[in-house]
Amino acid sequence: MKVLVVGGGGREHAICWKLAQSPKIDELYCAPGNAGIAAVATCIAIGAEDVEGICKFAEDEKIDLAVIGPEVPLAMGITDALEKKGVKVFGPNQKCSQLEASKSFTKAFLARHNIPTAGYKEFTDQDALMDAVGIYGYPMVLKADGLAAGKGVVIAENEADAKQAIEEMMGQKVFGAAADKVVVEEFLTGVEASMLCFVDENTIVPMQSAQDYKRIFDEDKGPNTGGMGTYSPSLVFTPQLAQQIQERILEPTLRGFQEDGLDFKGVLFIGLMITEDGPKVIEFNNRFGDPETQSVLARMESDLLDVFLAVTENRLSEIKLEWKEDRAVCVVLASGGYPGSYEKGKLIKGLGDVDEGVIVFHAGTKFAEMPEGSKCAACDDDCGLKQGVVTAGGRVLGVTALGATHEEARAKAYDNVKRISFEGMQYRRDIGIVNKRSSNNLQ
Ligand code: AMP
Ligand code: GLY
């Protein structure tokens, strides 16, 4: 079986790492991949958003299954294009991809099917939105309707900040056409958790839960990022809460997909706020989370290929997902300056020094020729390779450790993080620490 994974970040490294363990795969490709993915798959120099290039490669190489990592190619319709070429695709089609590509589409879906979420109103006119400033009080939640690389949500603390955000979104168009429509929501308070689910036309199955840390600095300070670390399982999940999520969110969502003719096949990532009134949906994404995947797949026992094939063939109900009892913690190492501007090309040291069983998932990395006479960056020795791994993105690596307890996994992750270095490296010291956002105490 020939499998192609599309994308080149930490999430795709985790997917490739897990797929590579399947005995049924003869050839595993990744487009474009990165320096870490190259250890488990053949990297192809085609960008994840080059739909035409990927279709041509899949056709030429007779790919059996394509797995789509990021949201942008999904929203571009890569699934529909590949399916036309006879390739099985794990990842929703363009119609279903609106669940992430349009907040307004998702809010209407949730309202129509009585799925708990924040109340909302939508605006396409800047003056009308200015007049409505503070409609739900403060903080005021403003969301660009379209895809904005995870940055399209503004939580304005007061009227002045809200007006400035409206001017930036609709006047200066800082998110481009993504904010031609803006969704305003009630502000929800509670604890956030991410739930990733496998979905086919008949079945929705949650994976193990995970907790993401979105802000750049410790104690949830500083600007939002793609995610600075995760742990799994989430510590807020009681059996009672899982049952509520199943009945109030997962079951009505699947019924809603069926009623609306949304033939979703892939991962539905549900951002939840656990409020005093129970769980509510903050957002849907239609792909694996990054870096949630780096914690969740590290704990998966089942063969991921079997799950992917079952989803594409609407046989998900036949699969019983199996998980390790171990807990996982993933700490992201980022470039200095991220999520603002940052330099690339910094040599990464210590990649070969981590303990067995600790997984270093690469996100923004690539190979670079090292000067004559230098040591190999991977083994820090004169192995003759002379190829170093350098930084090539904002989030560079995710160090995932497993442990019999949450504390053990956390200690192991940080112990190994300390062995890796590159100029300007920054990471949060509090990933996995149970704080206000991630405790059972909702106060
Ligand atoms: P989203 O991209 O929709 O997940 O929003 C990004 C982040 O904004 C979420 O992870 C929450 O922390 C916050 N957020 C979004 N919507 C709300 C809301 N209605 N109430 C409170 N916080 C929110
Ligand atoms: N970690 C959040 C996301 O993947 O959207």
DSSP 421: B
Q: Are 291 and 330 in contact (CB under 8 A)?
A: yes
CB under 8 Å to 233, separation ≥6 — which residues?
Answer: 208, 209, 210, 327
Q: Are 28 and 90 in contact (CB under 8 A)?
A: no
Q: At what angle do helices 103-112 and 251-260 cross, to 10 degrees?
A: 100
Q: For residue 194, what pLDDT is reported?
A: 87
Say if ligand 1 is within 6 A of residue 145 CB.
no
Q: How far is the CA of 291 from the centre of ligand 2 (A)?
A: 7
Q: In whole angstroms, what is the distance from residue 137 CA to residue 215 CA?
A: 24
Q: For residue 436, what pLDDT is reported?
A: 54
Say if ligand 1 is within 6 A of residue 283 CB.
yes
Mutate to test the pocket of ligand 2, among 215, 290, 395, 428 (most ligand atoms within 8 A of CB): 290
Q: In whole angstroms, what is the distance from residue 357 CA to residue 360 CA?
A: 10
Q: For residue 442, what pLDDT is reported?
A: 33
Q: In whole angstroms, what is the distance from residue 336 CA to residue 424 CA?
A: 4
Helices first, then strands: H and E counts in the chain: 13, 22
Q: How far is the CA of 226 from the centre of ligand 2 (A)?
A: 6
Q: For residue 223, what pLDDT is reported?
A: 86
**What tokens does 127 get?**
């003056």
DSSP 122: E
Per-residue pLDDT for the chain (443 aa), expressed as one digit of tens each?
999 999 999 999 999 999 999 999 999 999 999 999 999 999 999 999 999 999 999 999 999 999 999 999 999 999 999 999 999 999 999 999 999 999 999 999 999 999 999 999 999 999 999 999 999 999 999 999 999 887 889 999 999 999 999 999 999 999 999 999 999 999 999 988 889 999 999 999 999 999 999 999 999 899 889 899 999 998 888 889 999 999 999 999 999 999 999 999 999 999 999 999 999 999 999 999 999 999 999 999 999 999 999 999 999 999 999 999 999 999 999 999 999 999 999 999 999 999 999 999 999 999 988 766 666 655 566 665 567 899 999 999 999 999 999 999 999 999 999 999 999 999 999 999 976 554 433 32
Say if ligand 2 is within 6 A of residue 212 CB.
yes
Strand (E) positions, 248-288?
266-275, 278-285
Return the ligand number nearest the Cα of 228.
2
Q: For residue 376, what pLDDT is reported?
A: 60
Q: In whole angstroms, what is the distance from residue 201 CA to residue 78 CA?
A: 19
The residue whose CA is least distant from atom 7 of ligand 1 is 153
Q: In whole angstroms, what is the distance from residue 127 CA to residue 318 CA?
A: 53
Say if ligand 1 is within 6 A of residue 188 CB.
yes
Say if ligand 1 is within 6 A of residue 148 CB.
no
Say if ligand 1 is within 6 A of residue 270 CB.
no
N- to C-terminal Cα distance for the chain?
Answer: 51
Region class of 156: left (phi > 0), else alpha (psi between -120 and 50), else beta: beta
Q: Are 362 and 37 in contact (CB under 8 A)?
A: yes
Mutate to test the pocket of ligand 2, among 232, 269, 428 (most ligand atoms within 8 A of CB): 269
Residue 170 parent element (H or E): none
Residue count of the chain: 443
Q: For residue 438, what pLDDT is reported?
A: 47
